[in-house]
Homo-oligomer: A and B are copies of this chain.
Amino acid sequence: MTKEVTATRFEAKRLESFAAAAFVALGIPESDAAICAARMIEADLLGVDTHGIFRLPHYAQRIRANGINLHPNVHTVRENAVTALVDGDNGMGHVVMTYATHLAIKKAEESGLAWVGTFNGNHAGAGATYSSMPLAKEMVGMYMTVANANHMAPWGGVELLLGTNPISIAIPAGEEPPVVLDIATTMTSYGKVKLAAQKGESIPVGWMVDRKGQPLTDPKRSSEGFLLPIGGYKGYGLNVVIGMLAGVLNGAAFGRNVVDFNKDVATRNNSGHMIMAMRVDNFQPVETFKKEMDHAIREIRESERMENVDRIWLPGEMEHERIRERKEKGIPLATVVVANLNHLAAELNLQDRLE
């Protein structure tokens, strides 16, 4: 959940054009800048604020350090009717993954199912923005990626070889919002740990352990330990498998080859992603399936609640409500984020300021 304290709200379109202008000023061609901005503001609308416009200064830093190819030749290097391997040519992750997702959807429209893998990419923002794209075509979407920094050790190990490796799966529904899962396979993100450190708060037992496997609850000591996977060895296994399907299979970075994109803004990331799209009418007529989904969703939502629980949420439902709210009321940005963005705008000699 997002804490929205001392925040100003901005219209989504307003932020999107701000971000696009910044990318153009940084040297990215207009059409690619528009793609990056669109994906980032979609993340903000979803409430995945850490993957939205908040991250623009960080992307700018990497671009200025020549860590990104501004004119990438994003292209398919292997392909058949239902799969493709895409070389991102070190372009912005959003550009590479938008290309890959459109390709997967096109192939699935023709053949029913498609799986597209990418290498030589970069951080692409929120997984749900890609897994959700096939929804409009009555398709299931699935997205996995190798995270851009290692904050987890193998189960029983102490070396940081694994990232938060997330998975996102989107399934269409009828009158109900689509079901959209978007989870890291770690108990929490490193961003939340850093936030707790900034606030001087402790973190719950179960988020991190130290090198002896003891609970680490002081986030200021985070460098002495590592994130824990969901469900112990189970989440570790899921994390590894996601890394292999999104990374190793595509010839992308995994393990020691992963570049910590926060600490090193210049080295090529070779970030790997995958996107799958599958038409639901392979299995059921679309309307039948949607009715069944609505039924399943309502059965869960309307089932008996625990005391003091106001509502049972389906995966992605909270984000669905947030999109509606933020489209209406605007996207809240913390004062410090606005200041950082305006600072960047000044550096780039943009007229535009967020006020």
A residues with a Cβ closer than 8 A to B are 78, 80-83, 85, 111-115, 117, 140, 153-159, 161, 167, 169, 171, 179, 181, 183-185, 187, 211-213, 229-232, 234-238, 240-241, 243-245, 248-251, 254-256, 278, 280, 282-284, 288-289, 292-293, 296, 299-300, 303-307, 309, 311-315
Contact present for A234 and B80 (CB under 8 Å): no
- Quick one: given A231-B231, A296-B254, A306-B213, are A241 and B112 in contact (CB under 8 Å)? no
How would you classify the secondary structure of chain A's contact residues: helix, strand, loop or mixed? mixed
Contact present for A211 and B112 (CB under 8 Å): no
- Quick one: given A231-B230, A231-B235, are A140 and B83 in contact (CB under 8 Å)? no
Extra 6 A-B pairs, beta carbons < 8 Å, given A167-B238, A183-B231? A113-B114, A153-B303, A156-B312, A184-B234, A213-B306, A248-B293
For A311, list chain B residues within 8 Å (CB). 156
Contact present for B306 and A211 (CB under 8 Å): yes
Task: Report the nearest B residue to A84, measured CB to CB.
Answer: B282
Q: Can you report 27 A-B residue pairs in the complex whose CB atoms are below 8 A from each other?
A: A80-B282, A81-B82, A81-B111, A81-B112, A82-B112, A83-B113, A83-B283, A85-B282, A85-B283, A113-B114, A117-B283, A153-B306, A154-B303, A155-B313, A156-B312, A161-B299, A181-B238, A213-B307, A230-B232, A230-B235, A231-B231, A243-B296, A248-B292, A250-B283, A251-B284, A251-B288, A255-B300
- Quick one: given A156-B313, A238-B181, A306-B212, are A169 and B245 in contact (CB under 8 Å)? yes
Please name the 5 residue pairs, one residue from A and one from B, whose CB atoms are nearest each other, closest first. A230-B231, A237-B315, A83-B282, A159-B303, A156-B309
Copies assembled: 2
For A303, list chain B residues within 8 Å (CB). 153-154, 157-159, 161
A49–B315 CA distance with the chains assembled, in angstroms: 33
For A309, list chain B residues within 8 Å (CB). 156-157
Contact present for A248 and B296 (CB under 8 Å): yes
Contact present for A113 and B230 (CB under 8 Å): no
For A81, list chain B residues within 8 Å (CB). 81-82, 111-112
Contact present for A183 and B299 (CB under 8 Å): no
**Cβ distance A289 to chain B, nearest Cβ, rounded Å:** 7
- Quick one: given A113-B82, A211-B306, are A249 and B289 in contact (CB under 8 Å)? yes
